[in-house]
Amino acid sequence: MEQNSDYQCDVLIIGSGAAGLTLALQLADHAQVMVLSKGPLTEGSTYYAQGGIAAVFDKNDSIESHIEDTLIAGAGLCDLAAVQFTTQHAKDSLQWLIDIGVGFDRIDDEHFHLNREGGHSHRRILHAADATGRAVQTTLVEQARRHANIIILEHVNAVDLITNKHVGGQPRCYGAYILNRRTQQVETIAARFVALCTGGASKVYQYTSNPDVASGDGIAMAWRAGCPVVNMEFNQFHPTCLYHPNAQSFLLTEALRGEGALLRRPDGTRFMPDFHPSAELAPRDVVARAIDYEMKRLGADCMYLDISHKPASFIREHFPNIYERCLSLGIDISREPMPVVPAAHYTCGGVQTDLRARTAVQHLYAVGEVAYTGLHGANRMASNSLLECLVFARAAARDILAHIDQVELYPQLPRWDDSQVNDSDEEVIIQHNWHELRLFMWDYVGIVRTNKRLQRALRRIELLQQEIHEYYSHFKISNNLLELRNLVQVAELIVKCAMARKESRGLHYNLDYPELLPDAQPTILTPPQQPSR
């Protein structure tokens, strides 16, 4: 078999959001880094994040309070060490972003403007108006493009990780196969270390606030490579996505409620005080279930988020992008409420890692939404997600640099063999399976679940897996096929984790098990040994 690599690097980073680019910039002064982006560099969940990043900058706040709030939101399932580690490194990580040029909103030269969001007992959310993710992502992209040691490949899909299953060496990760969509060829990258920074899997649901790239690729690849996954049943549904046929799942940041926006029924009455003492500032799982409950109870298409009681100048100053976006759709939020529905937003579980972002496969790291660090538990608290990307990317970089001189490249990786497959003339099958998967996941594995719904979902997943495996074995791969293969794998992990949890906790609510168990334990799935193509 012909053996060589199309590319070689010290560290291969799969994913180009806050986690991937932070890791790249932390490494690049001392290592050759390659960053893979499935689309353009700005297309990812980071870019669309509105709210901000949590850290203690107020003298009246404390790390202990940030820890306590995170533990409460996580409903008894957070790993205390992970929460402590993240919050203790939060301010330094934010200061690094400030130092490289991210312009967070300020009150004056010495004080940042801090928002408060659901679950937080203090104002501790640094933000750039209502487009924090865009400010962070564009700054990181600008810095990464300038660095001579960072090579960026856009419009490529990672197909699979290359491990000892492929080369027969020591149990570790040796690189990855990638699909170059410009040439439609599968290429080989050899690397000393590989980091998965691919984001979450919310595209497995019919309605999501995430961009199209959030298809669970890293979780599925890590599973196939032999990594355990944890707590995949905890899918966070953002309570307030704009309900409009042309909105394309436009997210309405939780900071709106932090600044006084109220949730109302179609008749104008409030309902959140009926569900939680914190009303609109209750944790996201509570708010999402309340909206879902009221919609089903009333047979309503949506509920309404109302900030029109605030001065129009205040709204335009604090939420300029939301104001303009809604206005373009005929909704003046300074005069009328916004129609809202919940949508799949964040994957709280993921690939099991330690506090240095290491997975169970040697030399393979996972950072950000793709990973399970233990920070989020059964429900992620608002604005802890970008923080996790920063803190654990910096931790991974320290660990990689401490060992980089001890790891050799594997120079002769096997080429991808597609000599036995043909071009497909039936892409419609992929599209049909794609829509079927996302619809039944929404119906059966959504905000409220039952044993019967989960069993139905698993049966359909197993049938889809058979079809997709046959298709994958006989035809050349494409972007849509790879994403579908990964989404079906992630769907199986979500359902199996949900079936294993015999209680309702945090984001997982099962009508057949409505009570909490006295002992909170994570749900851990370990992959079987399986051959790879």
Write out the DSSP string of 261-323.
-EEE-TTS-B-GGGT-TTGGGS-HHHHHHHHHHHHHHHT-S-EEEE-TTS-HHHHHHH-HHHH
User: Along the 533 residues of the chain, how does pLDDT read in single tens digits?
Assistant: 344 679 999 999 999 999 999 999 999 999 999 999 998 888 788 887 877 999 999 999 999 999 999 999 999 999 999 999 999 999 999 999 999 999 999 999 889 999 888 789 999 999 998 889 999 999 999 999 999 999 999 999 999 999 988 887 677 999 999 999 888 899 999 999 999 999 999 999 988 888 888 899 999 999 999 999 999 999 999 899 999 988 777 889 888 998 999 999 999 999 999 999 999 998 888 898 899 899 989 999 999 999 999 999 999 999 999 999 999 999 999 999 999 999 999 999 999 999 999 999 999 999 999 999 999 999 999 899 999 999 999 999 999 999 999 999 887 888 888 877 777 667 788 889 999 999 999 889 999 999 999 999 999 999 999 999 988 888 889 899 999 999 999 999 999 999 999 999 999 999 999 999 999 999 999 998 754 43
Active-site annotation holds for 505: no
Domains present along the chain, CATH in parentheses: 7-233+348-406 (3.50.50.60), 237-345 (3.90.700.10), 427-522 (1.20.58.100)
Residue 152, both tokens: 């960026």
Q: CA–CA separation, 388 vs 392, rounded Å?
A: 6
- How far are the Cα atoms of 85, 269, 438 from residue 65, in angstroms, in the given order? 14, 33, 38
Q: What's the pLDDT score for residue 57?
A: 95
Choose, from 116, 134, 284, 358, the residue flagged as catalytic: 284
According to the model, what pLDDT value does residue 4 have?
Answer: 65
Residues with Cβ within 8 Å of 141's Cβ and at least 6 positions away in sequence, in order, are: 16, 21, 41, 42
Strand extents, DSSP E, 164-212: 173-180, 185-196
Indicate the residue type of 50.
Answer: Q
Residue 529 one-letter amino acid? Q
Residue 107 corresponds to which tokens in the numbers above? Answer: 């009150």
Residue 405 sits at φ, ψ, to 5 deg, of -75, -10
The answer to whether residues 165 and 184 touch, using CB atoms and an 8 Å cutoff, is: no
Residue keyed to tokens 């492929």: 166
Q: Both tokens of residue 135?
A: 């400010």
Structure confidence at residue 425 (pLDDT): 65
Q: What is the pTM of this model?
A: 0.90
Work out whether the CA dihedral 333, 334, 335, 336 comes out positive or negative: positive
**What pLDDT does residue 2 have?**
44
Which two tokens mark 377? 């538990």
The DSSP bridge pattern shows strands 338-347 and 303-306 to be antiparallel
Give me the residue label for tokens 């900030």.
Answer: 307
